[in-house]
Structure 1
Amino acid sequence: MVNFQPRIKGILLVITGAMFWGISGTVAQYLFHQKGFTPEWLVVVRLLVSGLLLLLYTSCRINHNIWDIWKLKHNGLQLIFFGIIGMLGVQYTYFAAIKYGNAATATILQYLSPIIITFYLVISTRRIPILQETLSVILAILGTFFIITKGNPHSLSISKLALFWGIASAFTAAFNTLQPRSLLARWDSSIIVGWGMLIGGLAFSLINPPWNFTGEWSIASILAVMFVVLFGTLIAFYCYLESLKYIQPTETSILSSVEPLSAAFLSVVWLHVHFGVFQWLGTLCIIVAIIILSVVKNKEVVYE
């Protein structure tokens, strides 16, 4: 007999984590558009604080030696590469897309990363894509078209910079998934992500130190920064990983589609971002594409 209580716990955890990720993007939009904060400052603070707290949590709570990973030179080089190109890259491109556009569009465009991963795996393994993969790619392209044009091929509904950074965030998110696979096979994910964040934050501090700040401080902006760092990073990450103890990775991938939906909904309700019929339709197309890919991936795992 299936024990539904742990399963329900897993579902609630992944939905909570995904919602926090989506909401944190909208909160970042509030900081950029209404409080004059810069993506550079928020990225460096988010990476440094989250990285330190995650490593501290891993060392104390999970009882792992966070320094062992540096004993092998190869691991260290991979980790540095992951931190600078992966963690820093995905954080900055995402926040830049929000600054020049809005959180809803940025989150949805970043959600194209599984499609990019599929392209990469098909090319690298030199195989013909199956029907479901082809359908997912078509849906993703159609969804992106609807979002950036509102159905009118002769005009863009978002700025060119927002489109550029949004697509860039999808590529960096794909890199973030593929590059550390060998590290994740040997080390706890919290160690990899914690060091990646800290390395990315330290590297970016050389370009934009955390004391290089512009913006308007208030109680609201302080709470917003705390939400992005704590709830939108640490707690969201914890909820996502914890959910894997109770439900399948495929279910986690599907349920995490709450992230772009929560970002879009909150942007419309709170920040009064206009989201038309075609943009909602585009969002639906991309989410369906990801769900199809998640189901296909699960079948591959089951039958191998």
Structure 2
Amino acid sequence: MTRQHHLKGVLLASIACILWGISGVAASTIFQLNSQITALWLTQVRMISAGIILLVMGQVMGVKPTKIWRNRQDSLRLVSYGLLGLVPVQLCYFEAVKYGNAPIATIIQFLGPFIISIYFFLFKHVTPQRSEAIGMIMAFIGTLLIVTHGHLTSLAISPVVLFWGGLSAIGVATNTLIPRPLLQKYGSMTITGWGLLVAGVCLTIFKPLWQVHVQLTGMEISLLLVIIILGTVFPFLMFANSLSYILPTTASLLDAFEPLAATIFSITFLNVQLTGFDLFGGSLIILAVMALSLNVRKMMRLLHRRRTD
């Protein structure tokens, strides 16, 4: 692997994470502009549109995305990925953005890797490394600062934001763990495309898109396209492509660009006011997740060794 390839991978993963952060800011803007738009409606449009685009691209590129439906077990896992992984990581995130703001929602969602670590500890009996334990403490302190602003007897953010943000963090964990066996077998374009489409279609059970009449201005349509194309299709493809040049652990470290981008763009373009507690707490969480990411490979090797013993 040459230095240029490594740099290409870093740039692809970094830009993908920045685009995800911008997507949250675009969603926050569209919620402010149009009260008719709900998090459910936006998630349905985003998932169905992006899913169709990815699957059509896969078919054109000869990936044969329909092949997965011939295997019953893989099909069930794919549906689980859509409903238990993508729905919470996107719908719950948009709910947190709507009731709060993009930076806080993204930072809370960023706690997802610690839920993965807890899962491995409880169900796979993988003992956390010292750096992981320190990271968990840092993340807990950071979250406490954001939630209370130093006043332990009261909440500084709405419980609704904390609820939806917490569910989106759990979604990050399930979104990472559930599709792992499928990705190597079918590729990220097929799994992501079908996962998005299945999840989006299933969400129409709660409120069919054709029963919701939303009038959109030119600006709102532009923001919707940003969320679908720049905030979903492009970053998923770029992040998946980056893994051909860099290690997954390196890519996961670059995830820190997502909350950073959401914070910078929200402050710059939406005049979102963040306190020193929010900034310091968010910084602690980002540093903690980066420390955790350094031990992901050790965790996976230990788990693989225990499976083969």
TM-score interval (norm. to shorter): over 0.9
> Residue 38 of structure 1 contacts residue 214 of structure 1 at CA under 8 Å; is this kept in 2?
no
TM-score, structure 2 as length reference: 0.93
Corresponding residue of 2:97: 98
Secondary structure of 2:294's partner? helix
Corresponding residue of 2:57: 57
Corresponding residue of 1:5: 4
Corresponding residue of 2:132: 133
**1:190 deviation in Å?**
1.4
Corresponding residue of 2:44: 44
Counterpart amino acid of 1:274? Q
Q: 1:267 to 1:223 in 2, by over 3 A?
A: same
> Residue 46 of structure 2 contacts residue 228 of structure 2 at CA under 8 Å; is this kept in 1?
yes
> Residue 41 of structure 1 contacts residue 212 of structure 1 at CA under 8 Å; is this kept in 2?
no
**1:35 deviation in Å?**
2.0
Q: Distance in 1 between matches of 2:201 and 2:235?
A: 22
Q: Unmatched 5+ residue regions in structure 1? A: none
**1:173 deviation in Å?**
1.6
**1:129 deviation in Å?**
2.3
CA offsets 1:229-271 (integer angstroms, 9 cap, x no match): 0000000111111111122211111112100011011111211
**1:214 deviation in Å?**
5.6
CA offsets 1:160-200 (integer angstroms, 9 cap, x no match): 10110000110122111111222224221211111110001
Corresponding residue of 1:81: 80
Q: Distance in 2 between matches of 1:212 and 1:289?
A: 44
Counterpart amino acid of 2:208? P
Counterpart amino acid of 2:202? A
1:110 aligns with 2:119: no
> Residue 149 of structure 2 contacts residue 277 of structure 2 at CA under 8 Å; is this kept in 1?
yes
Counterpart amino acid of 2:96? A
CA offsets 1:29-55 (integer angstroms, 9 cap, x no match): 011122222111100000100000011
Corresponding residue of 1:203: 202
Counterpart amino acid of 2:11? L
**1:206 deviation in Å?**
2.1
Mapping 1:182-201, distance limit 5 Å: 182-201=181-200
Q: Distance in 2 between matches of 1:79 and 1:96?
A: 24
**1:290 deviation in Å?**
1.0
Corresponding residue of 2:65: 66
Return 47-56 or 269-278, whichever deviates more.
269-278
Q: Distance in 1 between matches of 2:76 and 2:294?
A: 34
> Residue 112 of structure 2 contacts residue 173 of structure 2 at CA under 8 Å; is this kept in 1?
yes
Q: Distance in 2 between matches of 1:200 and 1:68?
A: 19
**1:83 deviation in Å?**
1.4
TM-score, structure 1 as length reference: 0.94
> Residue 107 of structure 2 contacts residue 259 of structure 2 at CA under 8 Å; is this kept in 1?
yes
> Residue 126 of structure 2 contacts residue 299 of structure 2 at CA under 8 Å; is this kept in 1?
no
Counterpart amino acid of 1:20? L
Kindly tell me the number of residue pairs found equivalent between the two proteins. Answer: 302
Q: Which runs of 4+ in 1 moved over 3 A?
A: 212-216, 298-304
Counterpart amino acid of 1:269? T
Counterpart amino acid of 1:164? F
> Residue 146 of structure 1 contacts residue 282 of structure 1 at CA under 8 Å; is this kept in 2?
yes
Q: 1:136 to 1:222 in 2, by over 3 A?
A: same
**1:152 deviation in Å?**
1.9
> Residue 139 of structure 1 contacts residue 286 of structure 1 at CA under 8 Å; is this kept in 2?
yes
**1:302 deviation in Å?**
7.5
Corresponding residue of 2:17: 18
Q: Distance in 1 between matches of 2:265 and 2:97?
A: 14
> Residue 148 of structure 1 contacts residue 157 of structure 1 at CA under 8 Å; is this kept in 2?
yes
**1:66 deviation in Å?**
1.0
Q: Unmatched 5+ residue regions in structure 2? A: none
Q: Distance in 2 between matches of 1:286 and 1:69?
A: 37
Counterpart amino acid of 2:50? S
**1:299 deviation in Å?**
4.4
Q: Distance in 2 between matches of 1:66 and 1:179?
A: 18
Corresponding residue of 2:292: 293
> Residue 48 of structure 1 contacts residue 197 of structure 1 at CA under 8 Å; is this kept in 2?
yes
Secondary structure of 1:228's partner? helix
Corresponding residue of 1:268: 267
Question: Identity, % of aligned pairs?
Answer: 36
